[in-house]
Amino acid sequence: QVQLVESGGGLVQAGGSLRLSCAASGRTISSYAMGWFRQAPGKEREFVARITQIGINTYYADYADSVKGRFTISRDNAKNTVSLQMNSLKPEDTAVYYCAVGSSGPIGARWTSTNVHYWGQGTQVTVSS
């Protein structure tokens, strides 16, 4: 079993930045894909970003179109952590952000909830206008 604990959420003004972190415990997650989903009030949970190891010190990362160029995902397998640097935040980024660990799926295919084996409890991100 894997436990995921997120941190770093909060309230920020539009244009600001936040960094989310997620620490995994229970087993080594280097062979898994790690990423983030988010869910805004009244909306379905949606993919934000994924990172998966495809070779020695080589990683593949992909992003939802809505965050591409503003968010950057990274991971540290030695520490069992994944982070999401969020810049140029917009009010529409307001949501609960969930850390996720699961199977990678084909490179280039969209990462969906069906790929996810483990979820974090979520951390609130609120962007004011």
Confidence of residue 55 (pLDDT cuts 50, 70, 90): confident
Query: Rounded distance, CA 57 to CA 25, Å?
Result: 21
Cα angle for residues 118, 39, 19 (degrees, 5° grid): 75
Q: Is pLDDT at 104 greater than 90 in this prediction?
A: no
- In the chain, the amino acid numbered 58 is T
Dihedral angle, C-alpha 40, 20, 125, 15, nearest 10 °: -110
The more confident residue out of 1 and 71 is 71
Residue 18 forms beta bridges with which residues? 86
**Structure-token pair, residue 21:** 């972190």
Q: Residue 111: which pLDDT band, with cuts at 50, 70 and 90?
A: very high
Q: Please write the tens of the pLDDT for every residue from 17-49.
A: 999 999 999 988 888 999 999 999 999 999 999
Q: Where are the beta strands (DSSP E) in 1-128?
A: 3-7, 10-13, 18-25, 33-39, 46-55, 58-63, 71-76, 81-86, 95-102, 116-119, 123-128
Query: Which pLDDT does position 30 carry in this prediction?
Result: 87
Tokens representing 60 are 């593949």
Q: Are 50 and 35 in contact (CB under 8 A)?
A: yes
- What tens digit of pLDDT does each residue of 73-103 get? 999 999 999 999 999 999 999 999 999 999 9
Instruction: Return mean pLDDT, the chain.
Output: 95
Provide the pLDDT for residue 45. Answer: 97
